[in-house]
Amino acid sequence: MKLAGKVAIITGGSRGIGKATAKLFVKEGANVTITSKDPKRLQDAVKEIGNVFSVSGDIRNESDVQNVVKETLEKFGKIDILVNNAGIFPHVKPLHKILEKEWNEVIDVNLTGQFRFTKAVIPHMEKNGGCIINVSSDAGLKAFENFEADAYTASKGALVLLTKAWAIEYAKWKIRVNCVCPGMVETDMTKPYLSTESDRDMAISEHPIGRIGTPEDVAKAILYFASDDSSWVTGAVLPLDGGMAAR
């Protein structure tokens, strides 16, 4: 078991990549807290995953974030791993048609929310080290034609560079910070863009390996960064996109 005795918080843990990661972490021996703002969906995930602790909260609310950390510490006594996975995808539209409110919402969830959780766990990792894994996107690595989701792109690009900044900033405390950048992964969030066979065929054609990703593909990469297999790795940014970013 690669995570035996470790304690992990996974944001956005009620579905998609977060839920798949929670399942894998539990299988590998970790004590896991999953969090999301939807209590019903969170409880459904707990039933599906099994031996997992859940705390509902809104990543946009600092007191909710602090409460997730507090309840995790009360339950397990420490925090070894943070997976910054929570995120939203906006309605696709050109930059000049984006409302400032829409822009701010995406940045608040996808970037400032990651800041809030990272800030909250750092003091509890400084004594014994820890691992932080940021879930960005291949949209944070390069620009894509006809991909009109500028706030999403900005948030994910910023998270890539913050990964490197945090890795350097906290290396002296043996806190490792790494980042995964998935391409198209089949989740609830991407389902509207895969609703027809032609949509699916187009998405597949964008990935040189010949398929879109699964949540489990990403979870396995997150496990690598969370485990001692990557004990000498920090500040790394890993594309998980079937070769899409290499084009």
Instruction: Please write the tens of the pLDDT for every residue from 92-148.
Output: 899 999 999 999 999 999 999 999 999 999 999 999 999 999 999 999 999 888 888
Number of domains in the chain: 1
Does residue 117 contact residue 9 with C-beta atoms inside 8 Å?
A: yes
Q: What is the CATH number of the domain that holds 233?
A: 3.40.50.720
Residue 245 lies in a domain: no
Q: According to the model, what pLDDT value does residue 48 have? A: 97
Q: According to the model, what pLDDT value does residue 53 have? A: 98
Low-confidence ranges of the chain (pLDDT < 70): none
Does residue 140 contact residue 153 with C-beta atoms inside 8 Å?
A: yes
Residue 97 lies in a domain: yes
Enter the pTM of the model: 0.96
Residue 247 lies in a domain: no
Q: According to the model, what pLDDT value does residue 97 have? A: 96
Residue 88 lies in a domain: yes
Residue 1 lies in a domain: no
Burial tier of 143 (Cβ tally within 10 Å: 0-12, 13-18, 19+): exposed
DSSP state letter for 242: T
Structural domain boundaries enclosing 220 = 7-237
Residue 183 lies in a domain: yes
DSSP state letter for 171: G
Catalytic residues: 152
Q: DSSP letters along 36-93, please?
A: ES-HHHHHHHHHHH-S-EEEE--TT-HHHHHHHHHHHHHHHS---EEEE-----PPP-
DSSP three-state, residue 84: strand
Burial tier of 77 (Cβ tally within 10 Å: 0-12, 13-18, 19+): exposed
